[in-house]
Each structure stands twice: as C-alpha cells, then as structure tokens.
A and B are shown apart, each in its own frame.
Chain A
Amino acid sequence: MELKKVIEKLNLEAAAGAGALDRDVKSGYVSDLLSDVMANARAGAVWITIQTHANIVAVCTLNELAAVIITNGKEPAADTISKAEAEGLPILKAAANSFDVAGELYKLGIRGTGG
C-alpha cells in the first residue's frame, strides 16, 4: 500500500520526508526497543514507536524501513527531523497510541513484518 494512502486513512502528519510519501508499505512492526527493531523489522515495513531520538533515523535506514510513525502525539527531536530530511525518510506523527495505530493499519490489510 502506498504510504500516502496510509497517511490519509490514519490522519497522520508528516514531520519529515515529504518527498518520499509514494513509498510502498509492505508490512508493519511495533517496538520501542531499537535493538529489537534492528534485529526484527524487515525492509519496507512501517515502524510504530514512541521513541523520538535521532537513532530512529539510522535504524530505519539500516533496515530499509518505509517510514516511522511516532505515536501518542510525541514530537520528534529537532536533530531527528534534520537527519530524516537528509536521508529522505518519512517521519509521521499520530495523536493515537501505538495499539490503535497498529489496529488501523491492520484494517487496511497491512500485516506484521516477517509474519
């Protein structure tokens, strides 16, 4: 599914990477431990987290993730946004919590990464 459609359906706000919203979302992954994401999230996944540190950008790039959704209305740190812009990585903000965001993605037909 195109990322743009996900943004529209879930009413997300793009905080970075506006030029890369045509990416294809292949699966989803929810975790707040970056070591776990590095080990388990697959390429093309959209990652749902409450982490806002700049390291999330590096993890997305490393694992070739499609985008990251920061939930609970949290704001990404300033250097997180600047690094994401430099990498062309979409950072999306959701007011809802991770459970609800994952549920909405599931309804759209997106399934867990590697599942």
Chain B
Amino acid sequence: MPAFRADLHIHSVLSPCGDLTQSPRKIVEAAHKRGLALIALTDHNASENARPAVRLGARKGITVLPGMEVTSAEEVHVVALFGDLADVGEMQGKVYQRLQDGENDPERFGYQVIVDEDENILGMNRRLLLGATDMDIQTLVDYVHKYNGLAIASHVDRPAFSMTSQLGFIPPGVFDALELSPYGKVEEFAALGYPLVRSSDAHLPADVGKGYTVFEMNEPTFAELKLALRGEGGRGIAGFS
C-alpha cells in the first residue's frame, strides 16, 4: 500500500499568533517542497482561509483538509478536521455561537488576516480568536463528529492548552487520535490505546512539515485518513518524524 506524508496541524495568518508571511500560498508551497501529500489548515477557532488553501493545494496535487483548532471550555486545544468546506462551515457556525465575546486587539494579540489565493488581504477577523468556547471537551468532540469530522487532541505532550495540562490525563474513547508536537516523546502516550500522529503546529512557512505522520492508505484523502486512523483494510500509520 502506498505511503503519504501528512502534516495535520498548520496555522495561517488568520491565527493571531500566525506569522504575517504564513499565507495559504506559502503554506502550500512549503508543503510541496517538503513532500507532504496531505495537510490541514487549522487556525484558532476560525476557518476563513481554508477555501484558498484547498484550491491552491488542488493545483499542486496536495490535499488540504479544512479544519480549525478549537478551544474547549477547559482551554484544551482540539484539532478538528473536515472533508469539505460545507462541514467546516457548519462547525464554524457552532464555534462562533459558543466563542466568548470580545474583540481582538491586533496590537496585543496579533493580526487575524483573511487572504485570497494570491495573498491579497480581504479583511480582518475581528473576533477574539484566542478566547475559549463554552463547549466542554465532550460536547466539542460530539459536534466535530456530528459534522463528519475527526477530533484530534492537540500537542498532548505540551504543558499548555493540552488535555494533559488542563485535565491531567486523557481518558479513553474521546478522540480519534492524539497529536504529538515535533519533539514530543512517544513512550508516554503509546499505552493509551489511541492512534498517535505527529504534526508541526507550524505558525510560519519554515516550520511546515517539521513534524509529520506517514500514513499507509490508498490515496491522500480525508476518507482514507479516517480509515487509516482506525487501521481498517490494511491501512495505518507507518511512522512519523
């Protein structure tokens, strides 16, 4: 079965902490250069830059999954991945409905820039994207699944905004996978019974693909990714770097 490299956690300039050079165009170019077949755009609680990313990826032969990194009420970050723009749009509506009120202060937190395929600035997202939703972790994961998505616990090895830091440990049967950051140690999480992936959590082009997972599956698509995470039909995770 063929193998594909995937980096399932990448921020763009829409995230307040995203580098101002981190346009969908630069992300797709970096992914292409580093041999990634499948990537996901996962800005904090927002997805307005997903459309150009998906289109640019298609032109380069890279599958770009539209997604978000959603903040739960416990301030746990969850990577939510979807198969198409309609599903991410449904989740986006739910997130905006449940996101705490407030307006972003770009001078303090960073600019939240919405761009097109050619890096033209279309506007700013004025919401407080660094804030939390009032969805507890189970409610959040249930919504991701309702909209046909995958819910991956972000950077479980890290001491902030992770299941481990906020909720002490990871109970079984909640997520579709756990994500390790580029330097996270596998041993601590291998026994939990979850598939483990590694992603970059890149905020600038140089970091795209800094962490990636190798999936054995028929083609680099969302449907195949779902099956690979479940280890169905000979598909699976071959390793990561």
Contact = CB atoms under 8 A, between A and B. Distances in A.
Interface of A: 32-35, 37-38, 51-55, 58-59, 77
A7 B164 CA distance: 31
Interface of B: 74, 136-138, 159, 164-169, 171
B188 to A, nearest CB: 13
Given A53-B74, A53-B137, 11 more contacts: A33-B166, A34-B167, A35-B159, A35-B166, A51-B167, A53-B136, A53-B167, A55-B169, A55-B171, A58-B168, A58-B169
Contacts of A38: 168
20 contacts: A33-B165, A33-B166, A34-B168, A34-B169, A35-B159, A35-B165, A35-B168, A37-B168, A51-B166, A51-B167, A52-B136, A53-B74, A53-B137, A54-B171, A55-B167, A55-B169, A55-B171, A58-B168, A59-B168, A77-B138
A77 B136 contact: yes
A101 B175 CA distance: 34
A87 B202 CA distance: 42
Which 8 residue pairs of A and B lie closest in terms of their CB atoms, listed nearest first?
Answer: A34-B168, A55-B167, A34-B167, A35-B165, A38-B168, A35-B168, A55-B168, A59-B168
